[in-house]
Amino acid sequence: MSHPVFDPVAFSLGPLSVRWYGLIIGTGALIGLILAIREGRRFGVPSDFFIDLLLYAVPIAILSARLYYVAFMWPYYAAHPASILAIWEGGLAIHGALLGSVLVGLWYARQRGVSFWWLSDIAAPSLIIGQAIGRWGNFMNQEAHGGPVSRAFLESLNLPDWMIEQMNIGGIYYHPTFLYESLWNFIGFLLLLGLRRVNLARGEMFFSYLIWYSLGRFYIEGMRTDSLMLTSTLRIAQVLGLVIIALSLAMMIWRRLRTGPSVRYLDPPNIPYPPDVIRA
C-alpha cells in the first residue's frame, strides 16, 4: 500500500488541524485580492473597496460551493449528514463558488453604485489565478484526478518524482488532472492580462474568462473519475460549461448590438471615488 508524499494536514495547533487544502485556497484568494487592488489603483479605487468585497464574497463562495456539491451528492450526504460541513476533506464545487461570487458581486456593485461589468472585469484575472492556485489543494488531498495511467506515462510528462508519487493512490497512478486545469487557468490568466491592453468593451473581459475556463474544464472534466453526474452519461460540469460558453457569446453579441460603441475597459469612470455611479 502506497502512502502520500504530502500529509494533507499542514500543522496542528492542539486539537485543531490546519490542512493544506484550506491554506492553498486562502493563498489563491489573497493573491487574487492583491491583483485586484493593484488594478483598482488605475481607476483611483482604494484598497478597502476590494477588501470589503472579499470579506463578503469568500464566505458566500465557500457556502455556495459546498451547497452545490452536496446537492448533487445528496444520496451520500443524506446518509452521512455529519459530513456535510467537512469542507476540509474537499468537495467544494468551483461552479457553485462562481455562482455565489457573481451574486455577491451584483449585490456589492449595486450597494456601492458601480457597474457590475466594471467590477467583474477587474476581478476576472483574480478569479482565474485563484482557481489555478486552488487546484493544488486537490493535489494535497489526492483528489480531482483522472483515470489510471502508468508511471511511465507520468514520467513522459517530465513531472518530478514527488508529484508522480503523490498521484500514486492505493498503488495505482492516476492522471494529474488538477495539474492540467491549473496550467490551463494560468495560461488563461496571462491571456486576460494581455486582453487588458486590447481594451475590450466592459464586461467582455469577464465573458472571456468564463469562455476560456469552460473550454478547458469541458475537456479536462472528461478525464476525471469523480465528476458530479446529471445522468449516467452526462457530466454536470461539461453541460454547464457548454451553457456558460453559449450564454457568454450571446451576451457579448447582444450587448454590442444593443449599445453600439460602448464604454471600454480602460475608460476612466470620470467620477472620483467613492462614485455615485460607474455604469457601462
Per domain, the residue ranges of the chain are: 9-78+88-259
Q: DSSP 3-state assignment of 176?
A: coil
Rounded Cα distance, 116 and 104, in Å: 10
* pLDDT for residue 89: 66
Q: Residue 261: what pLDDT?
A: 58
| 184 φ/ψ angles, rounded to the nearest 5 degrees | -60, -45
In this prediction, residue 83 carries a pLDDT of 80
In one-letter notation, the amino acid at residue 196 is R
**pLDDT score of 279:** 43
User: On the CB side of 117, how many CA atoms lie within 13 Å of its CA?
Assistant: 22
Residue 260: what pLDDT?
A: 65
Cis peptide before 125 (omega within 30 of 0): no
User: pLDDT truncated to tens, each residue of the chain (280 aa)?
Assistant: 566 789 989 888 888 888 998 899 999 999 999 999 999 998 888 999 999 999 999 999 998 998 888 888 888 888 888 888 877 666 788 999 999 999 999 999 999 888 899 999 999 999 999 999 999 999 999 999 999 999 999 999 999 999 999 999 999 999 999 999 999 999 999 999 999 988 899 999 999 999 999 999 999 999 998 888 888 888 999 999 999 999 999 999 998 888 765 788 888 654 445 544 344 4
Q: What is the pLDDT of residue 257?
A: 86
Residues whose CB is less than 8 angstroms from the CB of residue 226 and which lie 6 or more positions away in sequence, other chains included: 143, 144, 145
* pTM across the whole model: 0.90
